[in-house]
Amino acid sequence: MGRMRALLSGGRRRKSPASLRFRQCSVLACWLTLCAAESLLSCPSPCTCNSSSLEVDCSGLGLSTIPSDIPPETRTLLLLNNKLSSLPSLAFANLSALHRLDLSNNFLDQLPAEVFGELANLTELRLRNNSIRSLEKALLQRTVLLRRLDLSLNGLSQLPTGLFDDLPALRLLSLRSNRLQNLDRVTFEALVNLQQIQLGDNPWECDCNLREFKHWMEWFSYRGGKVDELQCTLPKELRGRDMRMVPMEMFNYCTQLEDENSPSVVDRPETPCSKSNISPPESKADPVPATECPQRQRYRPVSVRRAIGTVIIAGVVCGIVCIMMVVAAAYGCIYASLMAKYHRELKKRQPLMSDAEGENEEQKQISSVA
């Protein structure tokens, strides 16, 4: 009997590790079930959630407001094809983990400056096909990791200077199908890592206001960037032509207009650098050293490829002209030497011809006397 109890007690001791493992697995399974249930309960009722990719899809539901119970760990939020006409300033305040936000195909006409202020991890923002007519300068100030920005199919007529200053990681920018007529080069100089820009279907005015942006496009294309098209609408002479293909010489008149519109020397107010800065003879004060005036930068072509091509073509033309001049000079020398030789031979033959004629005349006189 005692032996039987010992065997039973030994068997219980051997099964205890397995039972502990079973209990741990059951606790883990219960915890996972509770987490899954919690995630399902936190998903907004009209939307569809994916717990593995942390995606919340609220597209095509006719929403006029953004659901307030979106999980804070959401990485992708899809709100396209709805009826959103405005966004509150704190619409995405609790979504700091958001990486991708799609607000396309809505009725948004104006965006608050701080609406994306909490989205420090945002890498893709789509605002395609809305009614946005203007953008605040500080709209994208805190989205420093943004790589893709789609602003196509809106009513943008201009972009504020400094809008892209805090987007060094931006790779793709779409401005297609807006009302843009000209752009400022300074607005895009901060996009050092930009690889592709879409500018088609805009009423571009290819005048002096677009000249500096043309310089930037040539530099952007030279370093490997991609531009889809920029067709001119005005003036009539350039309608339908791609701005990149318009020769830079056609904008030389812009510098003349700037010189004509600048105030003349007589009308221009006297600046410190233009003064003689010499004290009058009445005062015995030491003369103030004259300040140097900043020199005006001369116009320099931005397209290095065009400059190199121009130098090569000019060198080839000059080489051909030089070769032709050398050939013409050699031909002239040969022709002159041949003519001189011909004249010398002709002079040698003239005395012989005169002696033969004299002998013939003497024979004729002798025959006549006989």
- What is the pLDDT at residue 351? 65
Q: What is the pTM of this model?
A: 0.62
Structure tokens at 320: 């051909």
Comparing CA positions, the residue from 103, 147, 146 lying closest to residue 128 is 103
Comparing CA positions, the residue from 239, 238, 247 lying closest to residue 214 is 247
Show the low-confidence residues of the chain (pLDDT under 50): 1, 4, 6-8, 10-13, 15, 33-34, 36-41, 264-272, 274-285, 288, 290-291, 294-302, 370
- What is the pLDDT at residue 8? 44
Q: Give the C-alpha distances (Å, rounded to integers) separating 361 from 9, 357, 365, 367, 369.
A: 169, 7, 6, 10, 13
Interatomic CA distance for residues 78 and 56, integer angstroms:
6
Interatomic CA distance for residues 133 and 156, integer angstroms:
4
Structure tokens at 96: 């700091």
Structure tokens at 165: 């200053």
- What is the pLDDT at residue 53? 93
- What is the pLDDT at residue 224? 93
**Residue at token pair 């919690």:** 38
Interatomic CA distance for residues 26 and 34, integer angstroms:
12
Name residue 135's amino acid.
Answer: L
- 56 forms beta bridges with 49, 77
Interatomic CA distance for residues 216 and 203, integer angstroms:
19
* CB distance 104 to 128 below 8 Å: yes
Interatomic CA distance for residues 40 and 31, integer angstroms:
14
List the helix and strand counts (H, then E) for the chain. Answer: 4, 11
- What is the pLDDT at residue 297? 46
- What is the pLDDT at residue 147? 98
**Residue at token pair 């207009």:** 257
Q: Give the C-alpha distances (Å, rounded to integers) separating 172 from 74, 100, 124, 159, 254.
A: 23, 14, 10, 16, 32
* CB distance 51 to 25 below 8 Å: no
Name residue 366's amino acid.
Answer: I
Task: Say whether 76 sits in a helix, a strand or coil.
Answer: strand
Comparing CA positions, the residue from 213, 225, 147 lying closest to residue 180 is 213
